[in-house]
Structure 1
Amino acid sequence: MKQLTLGMVAHVDAGKTTLSESLLYTTGTIKHQGRVDHKDTFLDYNTQERERGITIFSKVSSLDYKNNHFTFIDTPGHADFSGEMERALSVLDYAIVIINGLDGVQAHTKTIWNLLEHYHVPAFIFVNKMDLTHYTKEELLDSLSQLSPHIMDMSASEEDIAALDEEMIEEYLETGFLKDTSIAKAISNRHLYPLYFGSALKNQGVDELLDALDRYTLEKEPQTELSAQVFKITRDERGERLVFIKVTGGRLHVRDTIHDEKIHQIRLYQGNRYTLVEEASQNDIVALTGIKKLQAGDYIGLGHVIHSTLRPSMLYSIQPSKEADINHFFSSLKVLGEEEPLLHLKLFDDHAQVSLMGEVQIDILKQLMKDRFNEDITVDEGEVAYLETIKEPVEGVGHFEPLRHYSEVHLYLEPLPQGSGLVFDNQCQNNLEERYQNLIMTHLQEKEHLGVLTGSPITDMKITLIGGKAHLKHTEGGDFREATYRAIRQGLKMTESVILEPYYKYELVIPTEALSKVYYALEDYPTPTVVNENNDITTLHGEAPVLFLTHYQKELLTSTKGKGQLFFLDTFYAPVENQEEVITKCDYDSESDLDNPTGSIFCSHGAGYYVPYDEVREKIHLPLYSAMKQEHTYTHNLVHISDEELKRVYERTYGPIDTKLASDYYKPKQDHVSSNTVQVLDEYLIVDGYNVIFAWDELKELAKENLGSARDKLIDILMSYKGYRGCHMILVFDAYKVPQNKGKSQMYHDMEIVYTKEGQTADAYIESITKQMAGQYRLVVATSDNLEQKIVLGHGATRISSRELLQDVISRSKIQKEEFERKNPQMHSYAFEDLKKS
């Protein structure tokens, strides 16, 4: 039996819960088909959900259809609860995107679509409420095309369907039809998004959707090793902690141990009811009890931690009532913070701070605290959640050496383009043990590191481990945590930081008569563009700071007499215009933040003492690796070298010169080689491509306009040079910043061209290959990277700088041209010359 996990995702009020109800009822899983407006649906059993008519928490149900077992996760559609929806996406095999036929593609639909792309989830599309809409199928399909051109009405011809995928085209041209497996493969690869129309409330189109899920879905290959992904933490009605997981490989049993904790129960949920099972196998969605340490996004066995891409853009202060027990207040919030990690809960002496997505979530939070914990809370108006980044790269150093402890960490911090988030890399350049390197990489990613201007989280930078040191006796794991945290903060203090504020990309739907008022209200920000003008209604798209738009919603309702609607399409961060004003308002002192120190601890006479951030570099025990990596400016002076000196250098590098006479070529071959003959190894020239491009003026200028053209020209030059030099050649290009890049090696004629994989620099590749090839070939490395030159010398390679390579290319090209002209003298065409004279 095929077993898959499917997710219901949509903009609020599109009909997710109604479709879930219809699927359960159609397959006989439930006997009564409930309705949201009747407050009796099988899945929206929470009191607040039934009262509000929206899904707040994701729910799990399952059904059997033909030879399939489908587990469905019904996710929230309201934008305020996007975090709950996103966590479910990490465990889906397929998504069913429900579109409201009355509205077409809405603002939050685009956010959902981008998240599906981020998690690489294939999708089926169901346009709901076709019994009520005034739109035609063609008009709705046109609206859907803004999501993807690969959305296809499955009532279309097979020829049209085949046109979306190369393999389907080949099959259709060969056979004249498409197999179900070919269509299923195209869907799995996200080359095709099947589209169906219907009405979930009236069970129209539901059978067709079920048939499509049966025919066009593929199950993943079975995995024997244990792996599972945690996607939800919640509590049951008795307060028992439930860890919802999807098993992606192997088996789990009751009483198995996970991170030193024993599983008490394995629950298989159907709505709010469950059955106890003894084991869970691949593709099962189950809830575990007895596990206290796992959090949403964690994994069991093989896998990786899932980090949310969403970030609430407003911070709110929560105050308990005067009669409240502060400890009970904090413990209650911690429970909700586990269930919703995007709250980013912070506790202070008498209040707490949380991140929230919007007004509805604030109301829900108040009600949850009252219903579950009997706590009355007040929430302030909120403030912007700033972020910080840096302008220039810097090496940060952290040292931690109190008595009987020791660690030192060197990190290289580099700014990245806006929206990149944090990227971590390990390019440790000394012999620090691998276990300590792994510890440092873990500490880099285990917490939210704060900036030094406002104490806001950092973003948009790459943090690379470049060096570290431990002590044979005194180093413990926690020492590297301290050194790592301090290295980040010290680096931030040693460079210039920038404060970023959140912006919304928005959609405004307003009466056309209110257009001038709206433009006037938005005059301080980029002018919105009209994307649709339909009689009395105009739709605008634009972007503005979150702080402004949050307060503008009430003004919009007033200026449009309640008819205006504001939708937030996407969030991004950009530098604030009034940075000094924000710094003053936040009143943050990085040197007083004892939880996030910027200085380091050193040891003197058996006692540890604190060294401020700006004095740390004077006392560190390792060199500054970034200084070693700086390129040096070379001055070339014209020096006359005698032929004897050149011969001596050549023989020292390549061995004795064996000068041959004509008789050597024509005398009979010897049957044996003299025992004192020196074997001259084949030569390999290894070239650091981008280092050369930016060292050669001509290529550097070309690269400013088109890097690809500069790369192609270098390849052509080196192909000719390879022929002149008569050697093997490997040309290496950095591709370490290309996401999902696995690297590749290809032959261009007889020259090998290498593009490094993600996270691997050309330096690292060249260092590795010279080590592998040492002793087998004569290796010459062309680069101006000083540190790299020293390393390859240690591997037995010869080095030349990029500029020296250029001079050799020019010289050999000139010599070869002169030799060609000498051997091929120009032949006179006397007839042509006589003709010219006449």
Structure 2
Amino acid sequence: MARDLESLRNIGIIAHIDAGKTTVTERMLYVSGAKHRAGGVDSGTTETDDDPEEQERGITIYSACVTFNWKKITINLLDTPGHVDFTAEVERCLRVLDGAVVVFSGREGVEAQSETVWRQADKYNVPRIVFINKLDREGADFYRVLDEIGPRLNAQPVPVQIPVGMGPPHVKDPFRGVIDLVDMRLLRFSAEDDGKQVADEPIPEELLDDAQTWREMLLESLYSINTEMMEMALEEKPIPPEVIRRALRAGCIAREIQPVLCGSALHGMGVQPLLDGVGHYLPTPLERPPVIGVDPKKRDKELQRLPSVDEAFCALVFKILPAKTGDLYWIRVYSGKLESNSRVYNPNRDKKENIAQLWQIHATKKERQGQVQTLECGDIACAIGPRMSITGDTLCDTREMIELPSIQFAQAVLSMAIEPENTAERKKLSEVLEMLKRQDPTFNAVENEESGQTLISGMGELHLDVIKHRLTRDFNLNVKFYKPRVSYRETIGSKATVTGQCNRQIGATQLFARVDIIVEPLEDRASDAIVLDQFFGEHALPDNLKAAVMEELRSRAQGGGAIGSFPLTGLKISLVGGEMREVGSDEVAFRIAANDAFEQALQQGTPTLLEPVMRLDIITPEDYLGEIAGDLQQRRATIESTESRGTMTGLIAFAPLKELFGYSSAIRSLSQGRAGCSMEPHGYQAAPESDVESFGF
């Protein structure tokens, strides 16, 4: 797909659940002419929510990609979920995007998952613009939401539009248009055609003073970015709109500011100016920094690829959709060209892969817009043919290799035991679970051969509920489901310095090895175990023996702990000494000694059971705050803060996941359905002694 990179925008729509992301996407497709009729989330007719589970629940579960044209630009748009259980979909999309539109509800404002997706965008250095949506709703307040964005997200929002009125038609001053502060014009949107017709009018006299005040604030925020504007202001010259847009674009791409637009996507109000904003302010692939990777043969050697067709090919696999005709690999091409019927190299697996077909993505696997012969840098598309690659892997030129940073996903926090009804179902279940693991990096499944049960793990109750429905409805499996349980982790509570030994007689050979290690807890208990080689000097072990020890320590660090064989986390393991003899000190002996040292360290280091903790963001009328706070205390929660959010009260708390099963129903019961709650993983804390004792430790 040969493209003009100057006119290409790879963007995502990200937000808290129910802020209106999918509706924004749907209206963009409609006003751009890519669809003849706008679908609705409630009616299950949107382009990007085509999975039955999404249509039934009225939420986005799987990210979907659509490509369309707007004026002189081509937009690759990824619509993402808002629910925290499906945050991996946001993570993988932001990893490959050049820019993002962050949607906030004009009524609810900055919510818990808003903060999560904003942090994810910060992590990947993604420039973004803001769209404050739902300004036609009761209680909507553009200025309150604007005031929340800066302090809560550590952001620099710069309004380029302000609303004319707020609220539904029956209020005294309803939302009826927006004022463009760059062109200083009033934009009205036709209700008859859902915003396809935009009336561009002079600003009425009664609104002019307010508009001038906000325009001055806009210009002042840009003087430090654009010296040309500063000079024009000092000379009291009028500043042309194109100069203002240039400054806004530069500030947005540098992530110094976030231009703010507004409207009501449900009625198409503000969607056309939002599309203009995507073209004006978000970067092309050429304006993003080169991708950085390493030489897979010399990992200390850093490499980079510029966004150019003249560079060697490299791309990242960011999503896999299983299909009977061959798995669909969604890839982002960062440099060079990729031809169909070609071979590429995967440095993560050290394998060559075939690229049989290339497709332009449209929505999800059920619809592919068209087969293409070539992809070029900047493209987001689908490849069919690879067999070994997984999400986060690099595909590159077989002669000029590079390995890009992979995608790091959150660990599963909730598990559920499942069991096939009969042996005939067992093999089918195993195949389906393998397919789901390829599709979803936050889903895991481990079979226990002794009990015949399989433990499936995910990011929360909704995540596991969706998996349950897929197994029974989509794949027609007869499976028993058991009550969900928390996914514990294990660590140690204190530093342990130990010596592991091997003194074994095997045949005529006396094996001998001694290994000295120090194991200590990391401050970040949720982090992966770190294994370090700190054994140097004249008595250091030969490379092959040291490598055997390090490999054994890494293998044990990825295994289970001493309490309930739960995964180990938050450990630092240092190899600090060892001893060998001329006869009988081989790799086997040192592996035995390393394993012995590790087991001793787990026992001496105060084994500690860790339980996952969730961050709760609750919004409730003041009348129910006392009952909700009391209920939280019974759930072992810690309340961090309360604050006024318009007519409601916001409450931030941290509570163990074990105590939060069914909490969304409980909070509705406590508040007569008027309070709401969202939660996200926060970390791990030491579990109560009663939990430890339940595992017989």
Q: TM-score, normalised by structure 2?
A: 0.74
1:194 maps to 2:241: no
| Aligned-partner residue type, residue 563 of structure 1 | R
Whole-angstrom CA distance in 2 between matches of 1:435 and 1:168: 58
1:786-797 maps to which residues of 2 (within 5 A)?
none
Alignment of 1:499-538 (within 5 A): 499-524=609-634, 525=636, 526-527=638-639, 529-532=641-644, 537-538=648-649
Match of 1:228 in 2: 315
Structure 2 CA distance for partners of 1:510 and 1:28, relative to 1, 3 Å: closer
1:360 to 459, 462, 480: 462
- Equivalent of 1:265, from 357, 360, 381? 357
Spell out the pairing of 1:242-281 with structure 2 (5 A cutoff): 242-253=328-339, 254-258=341-345, 259-271=351-363, 272-281=367-376
Distance 2:488 2:629 in 1: 27
Counterpart Cα distance in 1 of 2:356 and 2:549: 31
Aligned to 1:345: 445
1:135-214 equivalence runs, <5 A: 135-145=140-150, 146-155=152-161, 160-161=217-218, 167-168=224-225, 170=227, 172-176=229-233, 180-214=245-279
Cα distance change of structure 1 residues 88 and 267 upon mapping to structure 2, 3 Å threshold: same
Residue aligned with 1:330, SS: helix
| Structure 1, 190-199 or 384-393: larger mean CA deviation | 384-393
Structure with greater proportional helix content: 1
SS state at 2:265 partner: coil
Determine helix, strand or coil for the equivalent of 1:69. strand
Change (3 A) 1:527 1:242: closer
Give the aligned residue type for 2:633: E
- CA displacement 1:431-488 (0-9 Å, x = unmatched): 765998699589949994433222222233344566899999x999999999988875
The separation in 2 between residues aligned to 1:470 and 1:265, in whole angstroms, is 55
**What SS does structure 2 have at the residue aligned with 1:201?**
helix
Answer whether contact 1:411 1:463 (CA < 8 A) is retained. yes
Tell me the CA shift for residue 263 of structure 1: 2.1
The one-letter code sitting in structure 1 at the alignment partner of 2:307 is: P
8 Å Cα contact 1:314-1:384 kept in structure 2: yes
Match of 2:399 in 1: none
* Shift in Å, 1:54: 1.5
Q: Compared with structure 1, are the counterparts of its residues 497 and 136 closer, same or farther at alpha carbon in structure 2 (3 Å cutoff)? A: same
Q: Name which structure has the greater RCO, CA cutoff 8 Å, separation 6+.
A: 2
Structure number with larger C-alpha Rg = 1
CA contact (8 A) 2:16 2:113 kept: yes
Look up the match of 1:584: 693
- Classify the secondary structure of the residue corresponding to 2:53: helix
Deviation, structure 1 residue 532: 2.3
Q: Cα distance 1:231–1:113, how it changes in 2: closer, same or farther (>3 A)? A: same
Distance 1:52 1:551, change over 3 A: closer
For 1:572, the equivalent position in structure 2 comes to 683
Kindly indicate whether the alpha-carbon contact (under 8 Å) linking 1:407 and 1:483 is maintained by their aligned counterparts in 2.
Answer: yes
Q: Which amino acid aligns with 2:10?
A: T
Task: Describe the SS at the equivalent of 1:256.
Answer: strand
Q: Is the 8 A contact 1:159 1:172 kept in 2?
A: no
Q: Please state how far the C-alpha of 1:576 moved relative to its aligned partner.
A: 2.0
The answer to whether the 8 Å contact 1:4/1:93 transfers is yes
Letter in 1 for 2:483: E
1:37 aligns to what SS in structure 2? coil
Matches within 5 A, 1:1-150: 1=4, 2=6, 3-145=8-150, 146-150=152-156
- Please list, as runs of the form range in 1=range in 2, the aligned pairs for 1:425-824 lying within 5 A after superposition: 429-430=535-536, 444=554, 448-463=558-573, 491-524=601-634, 525=636, 526-527=638-639, 529-532=641-644, 537-578=648-689, 581-587=690-696
CA distance, structure 2, for counterparts of residue 406 and residue 373 of structure 1: 54
Q: Deviations over 1:105-148 (max 9, x none)?
A: 22221222222222222211111222335323212212323223
Does the 8 Å CA contact 2:409/2:442 hold for their aligned counterparts?
no
C-alpha distance in structure 1 between counterparts of 2:317 and 2:589, whole Å = 30
- Equivalents in 1 of 2:553, 2:380: separation in Å? 31
Correspondence for 1:379: 481
Specify the SS of the correspondent of 1:312. Answer: coil
Q: 1:558 to 1:372 in 2, by over 3 A?
A: closer
Q: Secondary structure at the match of 2:266?
A: coil
| Secondary structure of the structure 1 residue equivalent to 2:96 | coil
Query: What is the alpha-carbon distance in structure 1 between the residues aligned to residue 122 and residue 555 of structure 2?
Result: 24
> Which structure: greater strand fraction?
2
| Distance in 1 of aligned mates of 2:580 and 2:220 | 59
Counterpart of 1:335 in structure 2 is 435
Paired residue for 2:521, among 415, 426, 440? 415
1:765-824 CA-partner distances (Å, limit 9, x unpaired): xxxxxxxxxxxxxxxxxxxxxxxxxxxxxxxxxxxxxxxxxxxxxxxxxxxxxxxxxxxx
The superposition leaves residues 167-191 of structure 1 with CA deviations (integer Å, 9 ceiling, x where unpaired) of: 5165543453656444333222322
Counterpart AA for 1:373: F
1:314 aligns with 2:414: yes
The 8 Å contact of residues 515 and 593 in structure 2, kept in 1 or not, is answered as yes
Change (3 A) 1:69 1:586: farther
Tell me the CA shift for residue 527 of structure 1: 4.7
Q: In 2, Cα distance between the equivalents of 1:471 and 1:291?
A: 48
1:519 and 1:210, CA in 2 relative to 1: closer, same or farther beyond 3 A?
closer
Give the CA deviation at 1:255. Answer: 2.6
TM-score, structure 1 length as denominator? 0.62
- Contact 1:165–1:191 (8 Å) recurs in 2: no
Instruction: Name the SS of the counterpart of 1:541 in structure 2.
Output: strand
Report the 3-state secondary structure (helix = DSSP H, G, I; strand = E; otherwise coil) of the residue aligned with 2:273: helix
Report the CA distance between 1:192 and its aligned residue: 0.9
In the aligned structure 2, how far is the partner of 1:33 from the partner of 1:321?
44
Aligned CA distance change for structure 1 residues 203 and 558 (closer, same or farther; 3 Å): closer
Contact 2:20/2:133 (8 A) holds in 1: yes
Q: What do the CA deviations read for 1:57-102 (whole angstroms, capped 9, x no partner)? A: 1111112334433211111122222222222221111111111223
Shift of 1:426: 5.4
The 10-residue stretch of structure 1 (405-414 or 44-53) with the greater mean CA deviation from structure 2: 405-414
In structure 2, what is the Cα distance between the partners aligned to 1:25 and 1:475?
A: 72
Q: 2:678 and 2:244 mapped to 1: Cα distance?
A: 42
CA distance in 2, matches of 1:448, 1:425: 11
User: Is the 1:415–1:461 Cα contact (8 Å) retained in structure 2?
Assistant: yes
TM-superposed deviation, 1:160: 3.8
Q: Encode CA deviations 1:284-318: one digit per residue, 9 max, x unaligned.
A: 11222222221112223434443435233222112
Identity across the alignment (%): 25
Aligned to 2:382: 287
What displacement does 1:214 show?
1.6
298 and 445 in structure 1: CA distance in 2 versus 1, 3 angstrom threshold: farther
- In the alignment, structure 2 segments of 5+ residues that lack a partner are 162-180, 182-213, 234-238, 289-305, 346-350, 397-401
1:229 maps to a residue whose letter is: L
Matched-pair contact (CA < 8 Å) for 2:155–2:258 = no
Q: How far has the Cα of 1:374 moved from its partner?
A: 1.4
The alignment partner of 2:76 has SS state of strand
Deviations 1:230-254 (A, max 9, x none): 2111123x36212212112223333
Contact kept? 2:66, 2:78, Cα under 8 Å: yes
Q: Could you tell me which amino acid in structure 2 is paired with residue 24 of structure 1?
A: L
Cα distance, 1:39–1:397 mapped onto 2, change above 3 Å: farther
CA contact (8 A) 1:10 1:77 kept: yes
